[in-house]
A and B are shown apart, each in its own frame.
Chain A
Amino acid sequence: MTTEPPPDLRARTLRAALSRRPPARPAPGFARPYAALVAMLDALLGGLDDAEWGVRAAGDWDARDLVVHLTATDGLLGEAIAGGASTMDDVLARTADAVGRRLAPADARRTWRRQADALCDRLAEADADRRVEVGGFPMRVRHHLTARAAETWIHADDIARATGRSVPPPPAEHLHPIADLSARSLPRALALTGRDHRDRLLCLILDGPGGGRWTLPLSRDAVDAQPSVQVRMDVVEFCFLAGGRRDPADVRAETSGDPAVARDVLAAAGVFAGP
């Protein structure tokens, strides 16, 4: 007798699996990392028991608070795409308001996922290159989605760590845009910390799948012909640094060239990390 599974078992199995856990919501290319990270966090949340929902995962926030916080910021992005604008105070006020409502974890999770899927659905018709303001940051819609992907990942990692799990980094094609956004934000991050180094050119090398090499002028003014400083590190570590989850003084990075500039670059990388 054959031991091969019957051909129709494949379709039955796939159907059963997708009814238990929906796949990443289909979305335009620029929003695929976001849709994928929403699916990743959702699977993680699906495995938490009651006690794990209440473990502090980032600062004073437990998993439920983080999900509520993501819901607040995702919601403000949805409103910005529809024509609104918001400041960081709006993000915090809306989070505080929702945290105060003490939603049950399952409700918090459902509300968040439903809104995230609805956001993905609306993006097919949105202008990805329009600049909108969320939490005080004006950026193109496409870059906001990348930033939302990054924050969703960082908080998934917070929750996984707090509950003794580990989540894999996003696949290379989703990790790259996240690293790219943080890399390109470095000049502005330096300017924001008041440590922009005029005339300097930075070479940033991020190792690992999804990494790459960036040559970044550290100010808008005329720059060196050749990079005067180089920073080389693991792409995942860089994303955690940019997400405010690594101490710039301890992070594993090889630097060469002007050490003061390299130090300032690492110190500034996390300046855009929200709460």
Chain B
Amino acid sequence: MDGDIRLRQRLAAGDDGALQHAYDHFSSLVHGLALRVTRSREAAEEITQDVFVHLWENPYAFDPGRGTLRTWLAMLAHRRAVDWVRREERQRRLLDAVERTEPAVPILDVIIADETGVRVRHAVAALPQRLREAVELAYYRGRTYRQAAIELGLPEGTVKSRIRSGLRSIADTLAEEEGAP
């Protein structure tokens, strides 16, 4: 406990040696936990980095009066790993749905689920134009892939892949908003 109090003082004082110390003591714990939950090396690395950046940037967020630094970092890693898994699942459901259905089915429901349509529309508006026009034709004007391909003068496969990229990007935008602290 005393060690935690002193470490927090040094982090607050902008002593980067304290951050190195924290990393050397707790990165195995944080990384191992993130890896167990996400089963993705890439995600585990990203989460490990996020957790220690958060500790350094917000040295006051950890309160030694409420528990140890070890517990606090483990909790932070766990929460971020669970968020990552949820985001992944949601994206996978969305992509599965795209694969399975023709767009005439209001597939945006898959993304919208409990969202308000406003946020989705903002996310659509933020897409690069080539993705946006494909998504809009398919989901706001009810065109099939084939019709959309004819209107855009593109092969059907290209339109399909643009729609898929567009939807993935929308899902990311929504997930980021949700995950924002």
Contact = CB atoms under 8 A, between A and B. Distances in A.
A35 B15 CA distance: 10
A161 B9 CA distance: 17
B28 A44 contact: no
Interface residues of B, number: 32
A44 B60 contact: yes
Interface stretch (B46-54, B83-91, B164-172): B46-54
A4 B28 CA distance: 5
A51 interface: no
Contacts, number: 101
A168 B9 contact: yes
Contacts of B76: none
Contacts of A168: 5, 8-9, 12
Given A9-B45, A13-B49, A18 B27 contact: no
Nearest to A175: B9
B32 interface: yes
Which DSSP category, helix, strand, loop or mixed, fits chain B's interface?
helix
Contact of B58 (A5, A36, A47, A171): A47
A169 B16 contact: no
A17 B8 contact: no
Contact of A20 (B6, B14, B57): B57
Interface string B23-63: 11001100110011000000011001100110011111001
Interface stretch (A21-29, A213-221, A225-233): A21-29
A40 B13 contact: yes
Given A3-B35, A6-B45, A35 B14 contact: yes
Contacts of B59: 40, 43
Nearest to A21: B57
B60 A17 contact: no
A235 to B, nearest CB: 13
Contact of B57 (A46, A160, A166): A46
A190 B32 CA distance: 59
Nearest to B44: A5
A248 interface: no
B53 A16 contact: yes
A143 interface: no
22 contacts: A3-B28, A5-B27, A5-B28, A5-B44, A5-B45, A9-B27, A9-B48, A9-B49, A10-B24, A10-B27, A14-B16, A14-B19, A16-B49, A17-B57, A20-B56, A37-B13, A47-B58, A47-B60, A168-B8, A169-B9, A170-B9, A171-B13
